[in-house]
């Protein structure tokens, strides 16, 4: 049977989208999800996202990594599902939706989608790295040049290392460009490779750089391999609030696939 799907990307972070408001897709079929995300034997994507009905918000987001397993929050996926919901005429210029880490707000402009992230109240800051959860766990480390890092090799060492070997962590390598701009490359768990961009990752980097006093700015520009994102926030006594992730989200194509 042929099923309709949509492909979206946010700064090169790409996703397969399915409208699952009628509950026609089985969320337990991890093998099928992984196959759909496979770039040689399927559609190809960093993850698969279902749009479903929700009782208290406009819609619900269910996100799966490319390995087929349901995962924690995906920032670029969150921005892309807002664009998808707008395409389906579910929402207008503003929305609230449910994700695995709770309710998110989003605002749609002509070019970008701004997604409000959850408050961050705990940050582990050491001489060599900063660790925090921005909807997904992120390890942030500064390097002389992100261009020279073997992200897959070095990221995997940290991702599977102590103390993250039970659930794993995403890993971000950062180089400062100027006062309020940072270049970022990210290794994503579940993808088990570098992705061109990571929304929760750049959010973590912006907060980590402010926490490390690398910048005094509360609106930070993040240059990823797939494009530019912006993160703004308010500093609190023990963390950060009013965190917004902003950038483009575009439909790439619509298709049909049999399973």
**Domain co-membership, 160 together with 76:** no
Whether 254 has a pLDDT exceeding 90, the answer reads yes
Whether 165 has a pLDDT exceeding 80, the answer reads no
**Domain co-membership, 53 together with 128:** no
Distance CA(102)–CA(77), nearest Å, equals 15
pLDDT band at 1 (very low <50, low <70, confident <90, very high): confident
Q: What is the mean pLDDT of residues 133-144?
A: 97
Q: What is the mean pLDDT of residues 41-51?
A: 98
**Domain co-membership, 99 together with 30:** yes
Q: What percent of the chain has pLDDT over 70?
A: 100
Please give the pLDDT value at position 53.
98
**Domain co-membership, 156 together with 110:** no
Q: What is the mean pLDDT of residues 128-156?
A: 97
Q: What is the pLDDT of residues 57-79, one digit of tens each?
A: 999 999 999 999 999 999 999 99
- Mean pLDDT, the chain, whole residue set: 96
Give the 3-state DSSP-derived string for the chain, with helices as H, strands as E and coil as C: CEEEEEEEEECCEEEEEEECCCCCCCCCCHHHHHHHHCCCCCCCCCEEEEEECCCCCCCEEEEEECCCCECCCCHHHHHHHHHHHHHCCCCCCEEEEEECCEEEEEEECCCCEEEECCCECCEEECCCCEEEECCCEEEEEECCCHHHCCHHHHHHHHHCCCCCCCCCCEEEEEEEEECCEEEEEEEECCCCEEECCCHHHHHHHHHHHHHCCCCCCCEEEEEECCEEEEEEEEECCCCEEEEEEEECCEEEEEEEEEC
Catalytic residue among 66, 74, 205, 207: 74
| Domain interval for residue 145 | 123-246
pLDDT band at 159 (very low <50, low <70, confident <90, very high): very high
80 is catalytic: no
Q: Tally the domains of the chain.
A: 2
pTM assigned to the model: 0.96
Please give the pLDDT value at position 97.
98
Going by DSSP bridges, is the β-strand pair 219-224/181-188 parallel, antiparallel, or unpaired? Answer: parallel
pLDDT band at 111 (very low <50, low <70, confident <90, very high): confident
**Domain co-membership, 98 together with 175:** no
Report the CATH number at residue 65: 3.10.310.10
**Domain co-membership, 239 together with 198:** yes
Catalytic residue among 43, 184, 198, 245: 198
37 is catalytic: no
Q: What is the pLDDT of residues 223-243, one digit of tens each?
A: 999 999 999 999 998 899 999
**Domain co-membership, 25 together with 97:** yes
Please give the pLDDT value at position 12.
98
**Domain co-membership, 64 together with 15:** yes
Please give the pLDDT value at position 207.
98
pLDDT band at 251 (very low <50, low <70, confident <90, very high): very high
**Domain co-membership, 129 together with 240:** yes
**Domain co-membership, 96 together with 163:** no
**Domain co-membership, 24 together with 106:** yes
Please give the pLDDT value at position 100.
97
**Domain co-membership, 58 together with 133:** no
Please give the pLDDT value at position 38.
97
Q: What is the pLDDT of residues 176-228, one digit of tens each?
A: 999 999 999 999 999 999 999 999 999 999 999 999 999 999 999 999 999 99
Q: What is the mean pLDDT of residues 162-169?
A: 81
Please give the pLDDT value at position 238.
83
């Amino acid at each position: 049977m042929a099923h309709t799907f949509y492909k979206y990307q946010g700064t090169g972070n790409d996703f397969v989208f399915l409208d699952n408001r009628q509950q026609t897709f089985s969320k337990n079929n991890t093998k099928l999800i992984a196959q759909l995300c496979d770039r040689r034997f399927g559609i190809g994507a960093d993850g698969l996202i279902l749009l479903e009905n929700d009782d208290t918000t406009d819609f619900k987001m269910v996100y799966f990594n490319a390995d087929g397993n349901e995962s924690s929050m995906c920032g670029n996926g969150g921005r892309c599902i807002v664009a998808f919901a707008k395409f389906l005429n579910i929402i207008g210029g503003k929305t609230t939706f449910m994700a695995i880490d709770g309710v998110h707000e989003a605002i749609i402009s002509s070019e970008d989608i701004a997604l409000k992230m959850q408050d961050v109240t705990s940050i582990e800051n050491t001489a060599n790295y900063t660790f925090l959860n921005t909807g997904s766990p992120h390890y942030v480390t500064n390097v002389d040049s992100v261009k020279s890092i073997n992200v897959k090799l070095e990221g995997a060492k940290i991702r599977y290392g102590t103390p993250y070997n039970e659930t794993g962590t995403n890993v971000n390598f950062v180089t400062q460009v100027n006062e309020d701009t940072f270049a970022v490359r990210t290794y994503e768990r579940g993808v088990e490779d570098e992705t061109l961009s990571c929304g929760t990752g750049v959010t973590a980097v912006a907060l980590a750089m402010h926490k490390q006093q690398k910048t005094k700015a509360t609106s930070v520009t993040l240059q990823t391999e797939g494009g530019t994102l912006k993160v703004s926030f308010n500093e609190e006594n023990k963390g950060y609030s009013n965190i917004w992730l902003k950038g483009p989200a575009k439909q790439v194509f619509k298709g049909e696939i049999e399973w």
